[in-house]
A and B are shown apart, each in its own frame.
Chain A
Amino acid sequence: MTVLKKVLVVDDDPDILDQVELVLKAGGYDVSPANSAADAEEFLNCTQPDLAIVDLMMEQADSGFILCYQIKKLYPNVPIIMLTAVRAATGLDFDGKTAEAKSWVKADCILDKPVRPEEILNTVRKLLGA
């Protein structure tokens, strides 16, 4: 039996958290949900996930950025997907593609909410190389 890949999902919106969990489970992943950055940190202290999906705006407007930074510090090779609804609303533009953005956005990929199930699964598959 193959060991399922472990995905950490962090979102303070319980519904989004449930949805991403459900989609990933249906796609054959082992999901660990966390409803706050603090929760996620606790998890990360004892477990290394294979991939993390992080919401941007949680307790603070930039909780997601900080969490990404912490994940990369602990586990530099764990890919991160950032989910956000903020980009369109604020006109704040960051796509993590330019060198300047890469220097401070520590996510490997940024997806706008709402995300379609297929889009999440495809991105996860791509980043996990499977």
Chain B
Amino acid sequence: MAELFKVLVVDDEPGMRSGVARILNDCCINLPEMKTDVRFTVSEAESAEQGIELIESQKPDILLLDHKLPGMTGLELLIKLTEKKIDILTVMMTAYASLETAVEATKNGAYDFLAKPFSPAELKHLMRKGSSRILYKRQARSLAEEKKKVRFEFISVLAHELKSPLAAIQGYLNIIHERILGNDLEVYDTMIERSLVRLEGMKKLIFDLLDMTRIESEQRKREFANINICEHAKKAIETSALAAKERDITINFNGPDNVAMNGDVLEIDIILNNLISNAIKYNKDNGKVDVDISSNDNFVIIKVSDTGIGMKDDEMKKLFRDFVRIKNEQTRNILGSGLGLSTVNKLVQIYEGKVSVQSEFSKGTCFTVELLKNSHQNLKEESELPANKIMAKTE
């Protein structure tokens, strides 16, 4: 891959301009850190006035600017560019390389300085630095745009997910309000029940959303402690026990009494609660859930398997994305926010682990989560998350 940067040299000395052009037109700089080569194409201007014209018409990437020019000076040109909000990497070249000019130029947005006379090597060195800077900046910008897009998508889906239950509840209330089925209150009972169920779903979505923002915002101080994950698994089983009992689902814990790891209690509980409550929600009546905890040298392994409705291959693929809910005949009456597994996935990344899923349609599903036992051993307080975290933060 090669990048071609447009360079504009503004200098009133023709010899200077052609010299720079000759050096740069022939040179190719390799930037291994950006995995690219950089080449240059040079145009020339003999005054600041002509320079501005060329900057506006050609939009160069790099400006090599003499300070002492007839008419408008180099510094004045720099100020003009700032006024016009034109962002261009500028290197000042001047024989009057005093500290004062340097400071003044940097204040006005110049990137660096070349003291005349300079050698081809000095020029190339500066061009290498400058090019790499431009490429980094571009990368950062496209990352920021990507962030914005992801955020917008997240918010529109969130809005839809919140509006759907509202529309359903409002619809029922309208029907009840207008007594469409007559004045006998009992005929509206199912509608009231359904409204309560949808409200419960909304509440769940909001709580899951809070879990997720808590993980993703750097505001929350993560507190690491040596914990026994078996204890937490048993606690999560208890939390889900009522929901399981309602549908005669049995939950078994299999594992030793103690498996130690270094982790944040809230995060570990979120992982366990999500996996276990899913195994119950997507189970069949009279089904079974097995929670297995084990460990090897470096990892704690959590395995949650159910005898539930299972999934098809294409459904499994999108499982860990935000707001993905598998929609089919079996799941249409199951409440869920579509955030649980994507949150689990994010947490697993933080623990340098992995999550995998095996499933057979209408037979059952098994989630396996591996978490590095000592992923944060050396960090008393961890506030930096890995770079691949999702950007849907509340500002």
Contact = CB atoms under 8 A, between A and B. Distances in A.
Interface of A: 12-16, 18-19, 22-23, 26, 35-36, 57, 59, 85-86, 89-90, 113-118
A89 B327 CA distance: 22
B298 interface: no
Contacts of A89: 156, 159-160, 163
5 contacts: A15-B172, A16-B167, A23-B180, A85-B160, A113-B167
Given A89-B156, A117-B180, A19 B171 contact: yes
B198 interface: yes
Which secondary structure characterizes the binding site on chain B? Answer: helix
A90 to B, nearest CB: 5
A90 B160 CA distance: 9
A115 B178 CA distance: 13
Among A36, A89, A116, A118, residue most surrounded by chain B Cβ atoms (within 10 Å): A89
Contacts, number: 58
Number of contact residues on B: which range applies? 20 to 34
Contact of A13 (B168, B175, B178): B168
A117 B175 contact: yes
A98 B159 CA distance: 27
A4 to B, nearest CB: 18
B329 to A, nearest CB: 8
A22 B180 contact: yes
A85 B162 CA distance: 10
A26 B172 CA distance: 14
Interface in B132-178: 156, 159-160, 163-164, 166-168, 170-172, 174-175, 178
Which of B168, B194, B333 has the most A CB atoms < 10 Å from its CB? B168
Contact of B164 (A18, A19, A23, A85): A85
Contacts of B333: 14
A15 B198 contact: yes
Contacts of A113: 163, 167, 171
Contacts of B156: 89-90
Contacts of B168: 13, 15-16, 19, 114
Contact of B175 (A14, A23, A85, A86): A23
Contacts of A36: 327
B1 interface: no
B317 interface: no
Contacts of B159: 89-90
A19 B163 contact: no
A57 B323 CA distance: 14
Contacts of B194: 15, 18
B171 to A, nearest CB: 4
Given A90-B156, A113-B167, 16 more contacts: A13-B164, A16-B168, A18-B194, A19-B171, A19-B172, A22-B180, A22-B181, A59-B327, A89-B159, A89-B160, A89-B163, A113-B163, A114-B174, A115-B171, A116-B174, A117-B175
Interface centre among B171, B175, B194, B332 (most CB of A within 10 A): B171
